[in-house]
Amino acid sequence: MSATIQQLLDNPEDLISQLKFNDAGLVGVIAQQHDTQEVLMMAWMNKEAIMETLSTGQVCYWSRFRQALWRKGESSGQVQALVELRWDCDGDTILALVDQTGVACHTGRRNCFFNAVRDGEVSIIAAVETDPQTLYGPKNFD
Amino acid sequence: MSATIQQLLDNPEDLISQLKFNDAGLVGVIAQQHDTQEVLMMAWMNKEAIMETLSTGQVCYWSRFRQALWRKGESSGQVQALVELRWDCDGDTILALVDQTGVACHTGRRNCFFNAVRDGEVSIIAAVETDPQTLYGPKNFD
């Protein structure tokens, strides 16, 4: 970890004061593959998840369903290495540039946005690349 | 408008039933430039905004601040032509592939994600391309 990122972690208000957390203490996060620019997924972080992501270099979300930190890929191995953390003009959405190992979606697809209106009809536009059973066994997400 | 998209608009439940609107009746929307894959902005749509976006081919959001439909670019001219509407595995986020005219951000930057942790420090990483005064005059967003 660089000396400057350690300084930011020691005194995170430079970052945190620019973010607008919602009533649940969360900010939306878009994960984008840093080189192909594919949008992989959308999730949420609280302050603790942001700090962990910056300190470890591995993306950590907040699971609204489990009400717990969600270290992406902890059980499946489909981790996201952080490349850069950005946020928008009004501070309520983060854009995380990441390097995704394997597939981002719990369905085994590379990204979560596989439903579309295409040719005027609702369609599934991406195939499953990895059987979710091989990723999770009896579990069904992370 | 194609015959099939008209059928979908006449009977939108094929689409709407796949979406999970929050307590405010909204679903998050990521706007991405269709060819460069630049992530432009994040906003919200309700059912009415989704239907208008599909029927007109111009992206229409719901403004939480104004509590009204937000026809992107209506006053600034910085419109977003819809290329494809996608949504994610759990139906709570839309990915709108668009063709952005001019700049997406009310600050006059091409996209809204111009704040970053870079080299361990909080930085502004994109320049203003268009003076907001020329876009909005006394107003300050759309």
Interface test mutation site (partner A, options B89, B112, B114, max chain A beta carbons within 10 A): B89
Q: What band does A4 get if pLDDT is binned at 50, 70 and 90?
A: confident
User: Residue A66's pLDDT is what?
Assistant: 95
Contacts of B125 in chain A (CB under 8 A): 86
A107: nearest CA partner in chain B: B89
Q: What are the chain A neighbours of B18 within 8 Å (beta carbons)?
A: 115, 122
**pTM, two decimal places:** 0.94
Nearest chain A CA: its distance from B43 CA (Å)? 9
User: pLDDT by residue (tens digit) across A59-89?
Assistant: 999 999 999 999 999 989 999 999 999 999 9
Contact A28 B32 (CB under 8 A): no
- Alpha-carbon distance of B121 to A9, in angstroms, equals 10
Q: To the nearest whole angstrom, how far is the Cα of B100 from the nearest Cα of chain A?
A: 17
Going by pLDDT thresholds of 50, 70 and 90, the confidence category of residue A139 is low
Mean pLDDT computed over B83-106 = 97
Residue B139: pLDDT band (50, 70, 90) is low
Task: Give the other-Cβ count within 10 Å of B114's Cβ.
Answer: 20
Average the pLDDT over A34-59 and give the result.
Answer: 97
Average per-residue pLDDT for chain B: 94
